[in-house]
Amino acid sequence: MQKDLFRGRVVATFGPAFPIDDLREKYEKDERAASRILTDRIQKHLEAVTLNVEEHEDLELVEVADRLYSRAKRLVGYRERDGIGDRLPRMQVFAEGVRWLRTVDPERLENLKELVRRYLRLLTLFGASEGDVPPRYKFWMVVRYSLRQVFMLLVVFPLAFLGSVAWLVPFMLTRYVSPRFSLKKDQIATYKFVIAMMAFPIWWIISCVVVYVFAELQLSLLVAAVLPVSGLALVAWHDRQMQVRQDVLVFLRTLRYPRGQDRLAEYRRELVQEFDQLMEAWKGNL
């Protein structure tokens, strides 16, 4: 999580409320015992809505396993980016499976980790930091993708460019003023947000007033409507072009390393087969 970035993304989860009425009598008899029971209940319910692993390597295993398994089972497209809110329930299942496998067959777990590391190294070779590499790029899939990007270039980019010019001053103000305060890293984004909440509306009002004074009311109203749209277009273009850059890189590297793409598909089939077998064994022991 990059806490210092404005518009950084997080996921918030919550579970059902649980009663504590039964602890009243226990608390009156033994405060410490009641506190321990309450703490254990809180921990149990927190673990139900968070991802818990015993080792950092387990987290890598769970993340990669979810990426390849969900795409091999066609739950998500190979180059689609699914949010952590969608991934979390699947990753929790994988994390439970890893804990079970460490108990019953730690050697098999180590072999699985090694296979996942090989798979991850190949993904890194192709530049796929998100999503996965398709087994094959079909012609019409490439055409549809290209047409969507042409549409973005012709329609969204002009508005995004206008937004980058129109909102440059408040953007620079937000970016460079907040670090001037002596802040902890996890406070910077909050200050950026507060400054942006003031700077952007004020700049919008100033722009509209200046156009009204030096031009006319109709043009001022047009500016008032276009400026927010151009800002939203800029945000959409920024997010999208980062994804497109990676998609194009992955595509070009599949052309350069076709054998690597085949090897990646082999690893994927092997891992999915292993996951399916482990899932059946795990369910049989529940």
User: Do 278 and 105 contact (CB within 8 A), yes or no?
Assistant: no
Mean pLDDT of 248-269: 87
Percent of the chain with pLDDT over 90: 14
Q: How far apart are CA 50 and CA 66, in angstroms?
A: 16
Task: Give 241-275 as a DSSP string.
Answer: HHHHHHHHHHHHHHHH-HHHHHHHHHHHHHHHHHH
Q: Quick one: pLDDT at residue 229?
A: 93
Work out the pLDDT band at 23, boundaries 50, 70, 90. Answer: confident
Burial 76-110 (b: 16+ CB within 10 A, else e): bebbeebeeeebbebbbbbbebbebbeeeeeeebe
Q: Quick one: pLDDT at residue 15?
A: 81
Mean pLDDT of the chain: 84
User: Do 246 and 97 contact (CB within 8 A), yes or no?
Assistant: no
Percent of the chain with pLDDT over 70: 94
Mean pLDDT of 207-220: 89
Residue 10 has pLDDT above 80, yes or no: no
Domain extents for the chain? 18-49, 51-135+258-285, 139-256
Q: Quick one: pLDDT at residue 207?
A: 92
Residue, of 97 and 79, whose pLDDT is higher: 97
pLDDT tens per residue, range 137-170 = 888 888 888 898 888 888 889 999 999 999 999 9
Prediction pTM value: 0.69
